[in-house]
Amino acid sequence: MRRRFIAGNWKMFKDRQGAIELAIALRQSLADVKDVDIAVCPPAVFLSDVAQVLRGSNIGVGAQNVHWADEGPFTGELSPGMILTTGAQYAIIGHSERRQYFGETDEWVNRRLRKALERGLKPIVCVGESLSERDSGKTTEVVGRQTRKALDGVTSTEILNVTLAYEPVWAIGTGRTATPEQAREVHKFIRGLVAEIYGPDTAAALRILYGGSVKADNIKALMAEPELDGALVGGASLKADEFTRIVKYQS
């Protein structure tokens, strides 16, 4: 049985005080959670502050991006070593907003992933199709390409430290959510691809999260699908009570 994983992506929200206050509130409200892995991904400038608040708790901390070089002339980027020194353990890679607004390519996603694994970070790799791609029947083509290229060169040992997240672009920040059936269909497809590459046992163990307008009022229906192993939560992770309800939902 795969252990559920709920991660919150704070995106470009909160100031320093707000980030600290949210971390404190979550540490208190989620302290009794034993059966779910939890992580929050604040803006990079607050990684150390949030990690300090959550040190020793049951909540991990992650960055929203990571570069493929250990150091170099890459203005605005964060190396894995920099992230690790803050106390963070996770890194989101290939989020659709990075792909859409900042030209993130499948090749870059792969390079970021391989470096993150090399340095011991726990990557959360995002894949997902746009509305036009879904409407034109290209969901499996797009998601399949993104998944295969992201995992290119990743070994059968390394893949065990990877979490995949299916994030349909059309459902991020729009209020629209993939139906449980739509999410199940794509999660099953992704798991089948992983089985082709790494074998059925590895595919069965791999966690695949759903992301896209996840809220407290739809988490139960989504998580009722056995192919969904948790969620990558955006806007709803910015409110302590809402994120707590998502983590603590009753199946």
Task: Give the CATH number for residue 217.
Answer: 3.20.20.70
Of 104, 129, 167, 242, the catalytic one is 167
pLDDT digits (tens, 9 = 90+) for 187-238: 999 999 999 999 999 999 999 999 988 999 999 999 999 999 999 999 999 9
Q: Collect the ranges in the chain with pLDDT lower than 70.
A: 251
Of 67, 95, 104, 227, the catalytic one is 95
pLDDT digits (tens, 9 = 90+) for 82-96: 999 999 999 999 999
What range does the domain containing 186 cover? 4-247
Cα separation of 208 and 143, whole Å? 13
User: Is 167 tagged catalytic?
Assistant: yes
Number of domains in the chain: 1
> Residue by residue, what is the 3-state secondary structure of 125-190?
EEECCCHHHHHCCCHHHHHHHHHHHHCCCCCCCHHHHCEEEECCHHHCCCCCCCCHHHHHHHHHHH
- CA triple 106-162-176, angle to 5 deg: 65
Residue 251: what pLDDT? 60
CA distances from 34 to 40, 57, 163 (A): 16, 11, 20
Q: Would you say the C-alpha torsion 181, 187, 193, 195 has a positive or negative sign? A: negative
User: Is 158 tagged catalytic?
Assistant: no
